[in-house]
Amino acid sequence: MTDRTGVRPATDDDIPELVRLRALLFGELGGDFFNPSSAGDDWRAALAAVLKDKLKHDDTRILVVDGDRDGALAACAIGTVEQWFPGPHSRNGRIGHVIGVVTDPAHRRRGHGRALMDDLLRWFREREAVRVDLYASRQAEPLYRDLGFSDHPDPALCWRP
């Protein structure tokens, strides 16, 4: 079912386009972290398999906006909720993650990102997420701040084995 903003839940038929949009995101983010020279294309098949699986899970919301051509997508967004350990800062331990809001360049500046985020934030509230984390590109940071996102109190660090 598509809502008035054109946002709808993804289906199995959308998987090739979801992979295309995720690849577009990584290409735009650039650098060796997001686009290591040793990556090859195996990650695309792995992503397609994970998307197919996650479309069936209640802990994941994958949303799309249809493009102008049959089967093409204008934009997509993925949200997940993880069960962490509760604490004083996280009463139920339910933490949301926004994973890759992407709009095809031909469809930008039309409100798709905001519409996708509005739907995801509603979904996070329904699942009683106590916090929602995301990593923002420089271009998207103003949108997220306008939606109420702020700097995380902890430094973002990562370890790659």
pLDDT at 139: 85
Question: How many helices, marked H, and strands, marked E, lie in the chain?
Answer: 5, 5
Give the number of other Cβ atoms within 10 Å of residue 33's Cβ.
Answer: 10
- Whether residue 1 is predicted with pLDDT greater than 60 in this model: the reply is no
Q: How confident is the model at residue 156 (pLDDT cuts 50, 70, 90)?
A: confident
Q: Output the average pLDDT for the chain.
A: 89
Q: What is the CATH number of domain 7-146?
A: 3.40.630.30
For residue range 70-111, what is the model confidence (pLDDT) as tens digits? 889 999 999 999 999 999 989 999 999 999 899 999 999 999
Which residue has better confidence, 60 or 1? 60
Structure tokens at 111: 């409100």
- Whether residue 29 is predicted with pLDDT greater than 90 in this model: the reply is no
Name the most confidently modeled range: 40-44, 104-108, 122-126. 122-126
Name the most confidently modeled range: 5-9, 29-33, 127-131. 127-131
pLDDT at 56: 96
Length of the chain equals: 161
Report the relative pairing of strands 131-133 and 94-103 from DSSP bridges. parallel
List of residues 6+ apart from 106 with CB closer than 8 A: 67, 68, 74
- Whether residue 3 is predicted with pLDDT greater than 60 in this model: the reply is no
pLDDT at 17: 96
Half-sphere exposure of 35 (CA within 13 A, CB side): 10
* % of the chain residues with pLDDT over 90: 70
Mean pLDDT of 43-61: 95
Which residue has better confidence, 89 or 39? 89
- Whether residue 13 is predicted with pLDDT greater than 90 in this model: the reply is yes
Query: Do residues 75 and 116 touch, judged by C-beta distance below 8 A?
Result: yes
